[in-house]
Structure formats: C-alpha cells, structure tokens
Structure 1
Amino acid sequence: MKTARTIPGNVIDASLMSAPPSGSSGRRPASEVINFIEGARVLTAGELEAHSITRYRVTRSYREQIINSGYHEQLKFIVEPSFEEFESPGNLDTSGEHDNTVVPGFQHKYAQTGLLLATDRCASYCRYCFRKRIVGKDSDEIAADLGQIARYIGGHPEMTNVLVSGGDPFVLSTGRLHAILDHLLPFPHLDSIRFGTKMLAYAPERFEDPTLVAFFQRISEARKAAVIVTHFDHIGEISVDAERNILSLRARGVQFLNQSVLLAKVNDDPEILAATFAKCHQMGIRPYYLFQGRPVKGASHFQVPLRRGLEITHGINQRLSGIQKTFKYIMSHYTGKIEILDIGADDRVYMRYHQNKAPEKIGNIFSRPYIEGACWLDELPEGSDRKSAQR
C-alpha cells in the first residue's frame, strides 16, 4: 500500500501522520499489530481485507484537536478502529457507484451533476467511510484519463456542475488540482466546481498554501462558482485554524456547504448537532446534508435507527433559528437521495426523493411501514410503498 508520500502530486507528507507507513516497499506486511479501541490485535492482511477493516491513519493536528476539544470520548470513534468492525455487516457499494460510472473515475447518476474521483487517499481514514473499497487501496476507480472525462462532459450539456471527490482531493498538490481544472473550466455549461473534503478538519494547514489563492481565483475568473463542501460531523472537529482558513477563503469568494453523517456514539445527540450547525452558520457555511449512516461492511455499527434519527433531527430544528435550518436529513440510497421526513401516526416512514436518476421521480413523497430498529430503506417491507404526493 502506498503511503501519502508516494502519490504523484500528493501534498500531504507521511510525517503529518501519527501512524507510520507499513513498510518501505509500499506492501502491507503478512501480519501487523492493529491498535483497536478495545486493545491491540495481530491480524493478517487477509483478515483485514475479509472484514473490510481500513488501516489506522490520522493526522497529528486532528488528534490534538479532538483531545483538546473535550470530546475525545466521542470523536475517537471517527478515526480509531473498533472490534465492532469485525461484526458489522453490509456491502461496499451502497449507492450503486459502479453502475453509474460512465468513464473510469467519473460517475453520472443525476443529470446535472458529475462526480470525479480524483484520488484514493485521505489525510486520515474515517472508520465509517462508504468508499472503503477505494480509500487507501490503489484503486482502479480513480480518474486516470482526464481527457476522456472531459470528452464525456462535453457531450452532456445538461451537466451544470462537477463534484471533485475521492478520497480527498486536497491531499493532491495544487498543481494536480490545476490539471483537473484544465479539463473542467472550458465548458460553458458547467456553472460550478465543488470539492468534497474533510481536510479542514483533518489538516486545516493545507488551506494556508498561498498557491490555493490563484487556484480558486481561476475558477472565479472562469465565471463559475467555487464551492467547498466541508465535512464536520461534530463541533469538536472545528479548530481555530479551520475557522480562520474558512473565513479567509470566503473573503476570496469561495462558497461553503457542510455535510455531516449521523453516527452512533459520536454525534447522535441533537444538542451536539445543533451546536455544530450553528457554528457552521456563524462561519458562513450552509449546513447542507445530515446523512443517514450507510450499511457499509465494517461500518454499519455506526447506523442509528430511523426513529431515533428523526427524533434527533426534530431536536436539532427545535434548537436552531429559522435561517440556520438549512440541512436535509438524507439517505443516499441506490435509487437516489431520499429525504427522510417523519414517521406518521399510521407508523409509516414518510420520505421524499430529493434526487433521482429519473427526473420525474424528484419530489415524489412515498411511505413504507416502519420496522422498529430499521436503519435503511431496504429494511422496510418491499412492495408496501404508498405514493402520497408529487411536486
């Protein structure tokens, strides 16, 4: 496995990481000691692969932040492996990404949006990652031929924005990011370029790189919106450095959204999430999505039952002012992005398609009988959908 130092164009040096690389050869050893929350265990590479257990990797700045935040007992679960990963069922492609890949490294599920996977590396590895199949694994799902991707975009004028994700695109050098822009900016039908990143939590110093000023300015001069989608799951992740860099970039015209994942033991508390969203709002970041945890193999123990998730979202809204209530409680399902609305007096879960591959289904409200403890649409009885309304 490559360390961060070996990735072409990678700006994050292995010295930033608290866990050492597995070996100078770049290959995983036959067995290794993994420090789980519950204790150390020696595991073979085969055992790690069989249980979809990602290696431990965390930046020093994040470790210091979560310890000093006063929330370490919750935030440690984001980056530190647990024995629960061995007993956590699920699959590795909960949203049908393979089926929506149109060019290697590029997905087109929703008409207006393209998704470019720029790298298979992150500065730290989230234990709940829904792209475990890619992250840290020298994946062949990463964009290799940007010219081929550009030709696809050119043939799809309905596409108005591209989300650059991974992995985390900001582990790449600014030079590599410019190369990506070379293939996106020429298209007049693209109105915005988004970057999904948790780097402002994991390594906010990345955004102190002065070369990023010209990078974002280049997007603005092309008359496109530059958007950073941050990933703060908990107010304890928001450091002074992160806030300073966010305010600096906002002053240069960069727009900010935030997405969070609802995580058992981490942030399944309306007070914590309300405080997180209020802090984002204060920094000029619009809370965007609160994602229902996905049934990912090795990570489904983070899921919160839908009934509890709705109690939490109602509690969040009770604690926020009107202008702070900008998030949607979303299940990113194979069939589309589903907004989870409520459980009715009839004990049915009411949902609405926020996005769908079929445009005519967007806005449709439907319901299914609630099964106590269910965390995902597929756990609710099939064939029991009831269509309630259509926008």
Structure 2
Amino acid sequence: MKTTRTIQGKTTKLKVAPLISSDPLLSSKIINFIEGARAVTPAEVEANSITRYRVTKFYREQIINSGHYDQLKFIVEPSFEEFDGPGTLDTSGEHENTVAPGFQHKYAQTGLLLATDRCASYCRYCFRKRIVGKDSDEIAADLGQIARYIGGHPEMTNVLISGGDPFVLNTASLHEILDHLLPFPHLNSIRFGTKMLAYAPQRFEDPALVALFERIHVAGKSAVIVTHFDHIGEISADAERSIRSLRARGTQFLNQCVLLAKVNDDPDILAATFAKCHHMGVRPYYLFQGRPVKGASHFQVPLRRGLEISHGINQRLSGIQKTFKYIMSHYTGKIEILDFGTDGRVYMRYHQNKASEKIGKIFSRPNLEGACWLDDLPEG
C-alpha cells in the first residue's frame, strides 16, 4: 500500500508494510472485535476516537507463532472496551509544548519532531491516536521553520524523530529531515522512535537506510534508535539480525515499552523481554505507565500493581540489565514512580521537567487503591 505526504511542497510516497486487510472501521458494517462481531458506523468510530485497524502480515504471523498470541492480540486487534473508556486525547500536554507545526520543545535539551501521522500497524493503546492514521495538521510541514527554531535554541542537544513511525517514510524523506538537522553543532544526537522493528523489520535491511545512519555518524553525531518491544513475543529473529547489523556500524539502541493490562502485566514476561533486549545490545530504557487516553484507558494497570511488577522485574535481572525506569509521562513532566511508603503514600520524582530545579526532586501523594495516574491521587 502507498499513500502520500507533502513535505515543503514536495509530494512523497510513504511506503508501508503489507496489510492483513483493509481497514473495516472506515465503513459501516459488522466488524469482528476480540469479543465478537458488532455493527459499527463511521459516526461511532469518530465519536469514540477509535484507532484505525491495520496490522502487517509479518507481525500477525510473528505473534501467532510466538506462543503468546492470547496476550499480543490486544496490541493490534480492536476491542469493545475502546467504546467505553474515559480519558483525553492529549495526556502529556503536547499541544501546549508545540512551538512549530510538528515540533515540540518541552524539555530544554530535547526537541520532538513528528515526521508522519502513519504507522505500519496501529497499536490499540496509542497515546497519539488523535494523530495516527489520519491526515493530521500536527505533523512537520515546514522543516525550514523547525530548523530556524532549533538554530535559536543552542540548549537543545538532541532531536527525537517520531510520529507516527518515521520509518514508514521512504529514505529520501528521512534524508530531507537530516538536511535540516545535521548542520547544527549543538545537536549531538539524532533519535528515531519506532515500532517498525516489531512490525516490519525488513525495512532495516534496506542498504539506503544503512547509509542514512552512516551519514549521521559522519556528521559527528550519535544515531540512536529507540525500539518499542512490549513483549518478548514481538522480538523476531529478523529484528535481532537487523539490530546486530546496525549496532556493528555504530548505531545505538534503547528500548521503551508500555505496561499493558492483559498483555505484559507480569514480571516474568517483562524481565524476559528486557533480558533479551540487553542480550541483543538494546538497553532497556523506559517502562511507561499506560496513559489515560480516550478509548485506551482499559490498558492501564493500577500503580500498586505496577510497582509490584517493576520490583519483580528487577528481582529477576542481573545488575547490568537493570537499566530501565518506571515512568509516568505526565503533562507536568516525566515522573519516575519509585515505591509505596509505610505511610501509605506513593513516592515519585521528576526524571524530566520543564523547570530544571524540579528534576530529581522526590515528592509523594496519598495512595488511593486502584489509582493509575497522578491525577487519580489526592493532593496533600
């Protein structure tokens, strides 16, 4: 399948991996959900912010053959629960930190560039469902404007290219983005956030893509790929081969995953996932608390259970594998969730914050059983 995106007046073909089927949620008909068949109208889809349905053939076969299909199906298969969940569509304040269309600057050292509104497959728990699978006006349209902003902010040391998934763009489009980033001496690393290594790892076998990362290295900057493996069952032999090949050429890898009810809310599963990542040379980076996104809040795990899982993961890993932080990406900042105290309070600290003086500061709130988010905890 091919679609198009205009970047700075140029129409670029976006190449995405083969689909299992067309998206049945775009027309009124009987749809097969995990729980059974249901008649759905386009109006219901819009009113409930239901994510488009798309899953690559590769990923479908991978999760079926992994032995973990009963858990992994919830990542990509639609559920009735999406029609009933509370929440909002911007849980981390992305709108208020947007400084140019498609570019956010929330934390001093980091810029976030949204390169596309498409993904190879669509995660049902996506926190950017307001954007992905749609023709969004929140993605980068004028790279020159973004470059001018970066040039005026020498405190920015790295840019994260995300979306959507930047690797659904063809390599020429990615080079065009680099044209506007590599000239800045104060940028020392370029990161790419992607789940393509789970959904379509063959994308990384493209020699032209290897040359893209080499271009970053030649420019004297670090090339970093932030993978998104939520479960060991998503890690294919193809993905491991591509990761090892790119690492041998100097590309760094981190992994982030989301704690998801029914999918990976088990310390054995996540410890095995992180150990496998470490074995491949991918550093476990963030374990994200699920966000209260409209239509996806049913994936959230209570904080008490999340801490039990986080501690359980560490109990199962060797010292050099314990590199992840259990993080809540809240609109006030990235909050590391530390522990419950004997005083019945949840203890946390700011891993990142717009106000530098708050970074590293420990704070607490009274626990409320069943709470899944900072806003669920009473102040005081």
Q: Shared fold (TM-score greater than 0.5)? A: yes
Which residue matches 1:388?
none
1:268-319 CA-partner distances (Å, limit 9, x unpaired)? 0000000000000000000000000000000000000000000000100000
Aligned length: 375
Which residue matches 2:57?
60
SS in 2 for 1:5: strand
Which residue matches 2:92?
95
Aligned AA (2:300): Q
The answer to whether residue 372 in structure 2 is matched with residue 375 in structure 1 is: yes
Which residue matches 2:348?
351
* Alpha-carbon spacing, 1:34–1:55, altered in 2? closer, same or farther (3 Å): farther
TM-score when normalising by structure 2: 0.97
Whether the 8 Å contact between 2:16 and 2:120 is mirrored in structure 1 is no
Which residue matches 1:19?
21
The answer to whether residue 151 in structure 2 is matched with residue 154 in structure 1 is: yes
Whether the 8 Å contact between 2:4 and 2:14 is mirrored in structure 1 is no
Aligned AA (1:283): M
Which residue matches 1:281?
278
Whether the 8 Å contact between 1:4 and 1:121 is mirrored in structure 2 is no
Whether the 8 Å contact between 1:10 and 1:171 is mirrored in structure 2 is no
SS in 1 for 2:105: strand
Which residue matches 1:387?
none
The answer to whether residue 273 in structure 2 is matched with residue 270 in structure 1 is: no
Aligned AA (2:247): R
Question: For structure 1, which segment, 4-13 or 55-64, has the greater mean C-alpha deviation from structure 2 after superposition?
Answer: 4-13
Shift of 1:49: 1.1
Shift of 1:13: 4.0
Q: 2:48 aligns with which of 29, 48, 51?
A: 51
Which residue matches 1:327?
324
Aligned AA (1:18): I
Q: 2:244 aligns with which of 233, 244, 247?
A: 247
Runs of 5+ in structure 1 lacking a partner?
Answer: 385-391
Cα distance in 2 for residues equivalent to 1:22 and 1:74? 22
Matched ranges for 1:1-391 at <5 A: 4-7=2-5, 8-13=11-16, 16-20=18-22, 28-29=26-27, 31-382=28-379, 384=380
SS in 1 for 2:216: helix
Query: Quick one: percent identity of the two aligned structures?
Result: 81
Cα distance in 2 for residues equivalent to 1:164 and 1:118? 6
4+ runs of 1 displaced by more than 3 Å? 3-11
Cα distance in 2 for residues equivalent to 1:298 and 1:22? 18
Whether the 8 Å contact between 2:23 and 2:53 is mirrored in structure 1 is no
* Alpha-carbon spacing, 1:101–1:327, altered in 2? closer, same or farther (3 Å): same
1:223-251 CA-partner distances (Å, limit 9, x unpaired)? 00000000000000000000000000000
Aligned AA (2:138): E
Whether the 8 Å contact between 1:310 and 1:342 is mirrored in structure 2 is yes
Shift of 1:46: 1.2
Whether the 8 Å contact between 1:162 and 1:190 is mirrored in structure 2 is yes
Shift of 1:38: 1.1
Cα distance in 2 for residues equivalent to 1:125 and 1:284? 26
Cα distance in 1 for residues equivalent to 2:53 and 2:16? 16
Runs of 5+ in structure 2 lacking a partner?
Answer: 6-10
Whether the 8 Å contact between 2:23 and 2:52 is mirrored in structure 1 is no
Shift of 1:11: 4.6
Whether the 8 Å contact between 2:284 and 2:324 is mirrored in structure 1 is yes
* Alpha-carbon spacing, 1:279–1:47, altered in 2? closer, same or farther (3 Å): same
Aligned AA (2:39): V
SS in 2 for 1:133: coil
> What's the RMSD between the two structures over aligned residues?
1.2
1:34-87 CA-partner distances (Å, limit 9, x unpaired)? 321012222111100111111210000000000000000000000001001111
Cα distance in 1 for residues equivalent to 2:159 and 2:2? 25
Whether the 8 Å contact between 1:370 and 1:380 is mirrored in structure 2 is yes
Cα distance in 2 for residues equivalent to 1:125 and 1:251? 30
Cα distance in 2 for residues equivalent to 1:251 and 1:327? 23
Cα distance in 2 for residues equivalent to 1:264 and 1:249? 32
Cα distance in 2 for residues equivalent to 1:312 and 1:75? 18
Cα distance in 2 for residues equivalent to 1:378 and 1:21? 35
Shift of 1:21: 5.0
Aligned AA (2:21): A
1:17-41 CA-partner distances (Å, limit 9, x unpaired)? 1122569xxxx44x24332101222
Shift of 1:6: 3.9
* Alpha-carbon spacing, 1:82–1:114, altered in 2? closer, same or farther (3 Å): same
1:131-184 CA-partner distances (Å, limit 9, x unpaired)? 000001100000000000000000000000000000000000000000000000
